[in-house]
Amino acid sequence: MSEFQTHPVPANFKDAHINAEKYQAMYKRSIEDPEGFFGEMASEFLSWDQPWDSVVNYDFVKGEAAWFSGGKLNVSYNCIDRHLPERADQTALIWEGDDPADSKHITYGELKEQVCKLANVLKARGVQKGDRVCIYMPMIPEAAYAMLACTRIGAVHSIVFGGFSPEALKDRILDSDCQTVITADEGVRGGRSVPLKVNADKALQSCPNVHTCLVVERTGNDVNWVEGRDQWYHELMAGADADCAPEPMDSEDPLFILYTSGSTGKPKGVLHTTGGYLLQAAMTFKYVFDYREGEVYWCTADVGWVTGHTYIVYGPLANGAISLMFEGVPTYPDAGRCWEVVDKHQVNTFYTAPTAIRALMAVGDEPVTRSSRSSLRLLGTVGEPINPEAWEWYHRVVGDERCPIIDTWWQTETGAHMITPLPGAVDLKPGSATFPFFGVELALLNEDGSEVEGAGSGYLVVKSSWPSQIRSVYGDHQRMIDTYFSNYAGYYFTGDGATRDEDGYYWITGRVDDVLNVSGHRMGTAEVESALVLHDKIAEAAVVGFPHDIKGQGIYAYVTPMAGVEPDDDLRAELIQLCVKEIGPIAKPDIIQWAPGLPKTRSGKIMRRILRKIAENELDSLGDTSTLADPSVVDHLVANKLS
Ligand code: ATP
Ligand code: MG
């Protein structure tokens, strides 16, 4: 699949939690005997108030799944209280502020107090078990307190990314009928303030059911105030009791709603429940990152994304780990920030997105190499296919060839990692997410729904339920069935395409609707993009198909040169040659448009559906752009469109 070399398990991972033999044996058992396997795991990883009646029941036709039914547990108890006997004074969260001079440590004991107080504040405002609470916050510890306080009393949180507009916030509040909103006066990111309360005020004009807007004072600047509805967080916390008994929840009680990032269409309110979600979050955190007692772990995601839910808060805290939460951005005050933070807090595991890696790579090695990074043991990535070029840079420059790169494939809907290397068990191939996690039974389907045998490519589907599976699309169960369970009966449809090589490794080729069909040859947009970014003058590329009279589909490439590069026709010709050499003449882009920026979701994913519309000249129907990070990018691309 790739001319890049395979990286064997590093020597310092030979004693990892899971080695190759263990992986094989545990994986086999997890598929053949899920009741036995996950029953044992649920007892090992979680504390239950009441045992379950049955481990798993599911029906993919009706889109139903239940794990540990009848079992009772509380998420905040599992993430906090049960660790207190040995960890009350151990750090739970390290908070690193936007300003490099700002940071603090929050112990498990302090976390318990803050969460209980906030839970009591919510109760006093009338929030009850099952009520939805919208969290619209910057990356400050109060965001984690808010999540955990909801779980303490059985309220269902719906986090909306703090970078979203009033419009996007309003839609999400209304869709899940949240009646309580927790926000801050302002956020701070990259040295600039983000007007959260102003945005919330605008959104709430159209949300008459919201009775409480709890406001954390982050910057202290003046904000508008609606008497009765608006309440200062610090004022209510000051009078709150620091004890709050955890509400015993049924394993299948709702835990949170989270809207997908909207790369392919209108965001869906993905509903997750309690026991199965927390189990897979906890298991994957421990095994995938090979987490060791006392290590400092840093996931750069925002809590507004599923990655922030599962791998900043729930997975790490369920394991009693030390999780770093970062308020800022990787490029502020400059492109060396991440590595400064790594040295400052002696970070052992660093988990980020390919888009961040490519952005840092485009700036050059110096901001990285001026730091030590000697504490790093493992590097992770999530969110998009990582092109082998970026993988190698991450491995060589950031990890000094010492740290395995763990490429984790999963979705908001899957709740936790699904395809990922376990660092002590799997030899790595750059660009491959490698093998399924325990309990994840995969298949690749042909167009006609038959399963691909052995090596080959197809639609990536899951054949049986896994614990942290999506339970519903909030308020629209039929949409859940239509989206995930009706394309191919009996399978969960991921919407992604993948290739399985001769060694059984999985390579995600991108979204199914991103597959190109040029003169009858099918290829993933990711393949062409990977070829384009091999060129050392190219930072990023996005490829889409467009109608072509002869070939059926032609290839339209939007290409971002490295900083300081003046693109010209020679560069264009070199890129075309590169695609021919790497993939074949069939992969020659018909059009290459220079793009100083690409339209991305707030979580950094390229929105190809918009690029497709531009390439197809359908400029009036660009669709929902409310989740775009920078809408002006689109105007630039439209103005400079080549036809
Ligand atoms: P929507 O479903 O609304 O279009 P979205 O799919 O972008 O939004 P997420 O759930 O945040 O929302 O993203 C999941 C998708 O991200 C996966 O389906 C896949 O396309 C991509 N992805 C995530 N991790 C990886 C990875 N390691 N390799 C390749 N692709 C990945
Ligand atoms: Mg999706």
Model confidence pLDDT, tens digit, residues 25-63: 999 999 999 999 999 999 999 999 999 999 999 999 999
Per-residue pLDDT band for 381 (boundaries 50, 70, 90) equals: very high
Ligand nearest to C-alpha 494: 1
Helices in 520-607 by DSSP H: which ranges?
Answer: 525-532, 569-582
What distance in angstroms lies between residue 284's CA and the mean position of ligand 2's atoms?
A: 20
Residue bearing the CA closest to ligand 1, atom 19: 384
- Rounded to an integer, the average pLDDT of 331-336 is 96
Ligand nearest to C-alpha 268: 1
Rounded to an integer, what distance in angstroms lies between the CA atom of residue 218 and that of residue 229? 19
Per-residue pLDDT band for 610 (boundaries 50, 70, 90) equals: very high
Q: How many Cβ atoms from other residues are within 10 Å of residue 101's Cβ? A: 5
Q: Which of 158, 156, 157, 155 is nearest to 129 (CA)?
A: 155
What distance in angstroms lies between residue 605's CA and the mean position of ligand 2's atoms?
A: 11
Ligand nearest to C-alpha 261: 1
Model confidence pLDDT, tens digit, residues 285-330: 999 999 999 999 999 999 999 999 999 999 999 999 999 999 999 9
Domains and CATH numbers, the chain: 20-499 (3.40.50.12780), 519-640 (3.30.300.30)
Ligand nearest to C-alpha 413: 1
Burial classification of residue 562, based on how many CB atoms lie within 10 Å of its CB (0-12 exposed, 13-18 middle, 19 or more buried): middle
Model confidence pLDDT, tens digit, residues 235-283: 999 999 999 999 999 999 999 999 987 777 778 999 999 999 999 999 9
Residue with tokens 């889109």: 63
Mutate to test the pocket of ligand 1, among 171, 435, 605 (most ligand atoms within 8 A of CB): 605
Q: Which two tokens stand for residue 615?
A: 């390439």
What distance in angstroms lies between residue 282's CA and the mean position of ligand 1's atoms?
A: 21
- Rounded to an integer, the average pLDDT of 497-509 is 96
Model confidence pLDDT, tens digit, residues 396-443: 999 999 999 999 999 999 999 999 999 999 999 999 999 999 999 999
Residue bearing the CA closest to ligand 1, atom 18: 411
Shortest-distance atom of ligand 1 to CA 306: 11
Residues 439, 437, 481, 477: is their CA dihedral positive or negative?
positive
Residue ranges of the binding site for CoA: 189-192, 307, 519
What distance in angstroms lies between residue 411's CA and the mean position of ligand 2's atoms?
A: 6
- Rounded to an integer, the average pLDDT of 205-211 is 98
Helices in 364-444 by DSSP H: which ranges?
Answer: 366-369, 388-393
Rounded to an integer, what distance in angstroms lies between the CA atom of residue 357 and that of residue 381? 9
Q: Which of 585, 587, 611, 612 is nearest to 532 (CA)?
A: 587
**Can you give the pLDDT at residue 288?**
98
**Can you give the pLDDT at residue 421?**
98
Query: Strand, coil or helix: what is 245?
Result: coil
Per-residue pLDDT band for 117 (boundaries 50, 70, 90) equals: very high
**Can you give the pLDDT at residue 120?**
98
Q: Which two tokens stand for residue 109?
A: 């004991």
Residue ranges of the binding site for ATP: 383-385, 407-412, 496, 511, 522
- Per-residue pLDDT at 522 exceeds 90: no
Q: Which two tokens stand for residue 463?
A: 């054949």
Ligand nearest to C-alpha 412: 1
Do β-strands 249-250 and 72-73 pair in parallel, antiparallel, or remain unpaired? antiparallel
Residue bearing the CA closest to ligand 1, atom 27: 409
Query: Strand, coil or helix: what is 595?
Result: coil
pTM for the model stands at 0.92
CB-based pocket (< 6 A), ligand 1: 260-265, 267, 382-385, 407-412, 433, 494-496, 508, 511, 603, 605
Do β-strands 91-96 and 103-107 pair in parallel, antiparallel, or remain unpaired? antiparallel
Rounded to an integer, what distance in angstroms lies between the CA atom of residue 145 and that of residue 147? 6
Strand-pair partners of 107: 91
CA end-to-end distance (rounded Å), the chain: 33
- Per-residue pLDDT at 624 exceeds 80: no
- Using an 8 Å Cβ cutoff, are 514 and 440 in contact? no
**Can you give the pLDDT at residue 1?**
47
Residue bearing the CA closest to ligand 1, atom 30: 384
Rounded to an integer, what distance in angstroms lies between the CA atom of residue 613 and that of residue 636? 14
Q: Which of 447, 387, 381 is nearest to 419 (CA)?
A: 381
Shortest-distance atom of ligand 1 to CA 267: 3
What distance in angstroms lies between residue 571's CA and the mean position of ligand 1's atoms?
A: 31
Do β-strands 269-273 and 538-548 pair in parallel, antiparallel, or remain unpaired? unpaired
- Using an 8 Å Cβ cutoff, are 197 and 223 in contact? yes
Helices in 311-410 by DSSP H: which ranges?
Answer: 315-318, 337-345, 354-363, 366-369, 388-393
Q: What percent of the chain clears pLDDT 90, i.e. is strictly above it?
A: 86
- Per-residue pLDDT at 476 exceeds 70: yes
Shortest-distance atom of ligand 1 to CA 495: 18
Q: What percent of the chain clears pLDDT 70, i.e. is strictly above it?
A: 99
Residue bearing the CA closest to ligand 1, atom 23: 383
Rounded to an integer, what distance in angstroms lies between the CA atom of residue 251 and that of residue 68? 6
Shortest-distance atom of ligand 1 to CA 511: 20
Residue ranges of the binding site: 189-192, 307, 383-385, 407-412, 496, 511, 519, 522, 533, 535, 538
Backbone φ/ψ region at 158: left (φ over 0), alpha (ψ -120 to 50), beta: beta
Give Cβ neighbours of residue 12 (< 8 Å, ≥ 6 apart). 377, 402
- Using an 8 Å Cβ cutoff, are 416 and 423 in contact? no
**Can you give the pLDDT at residue 523?**
82
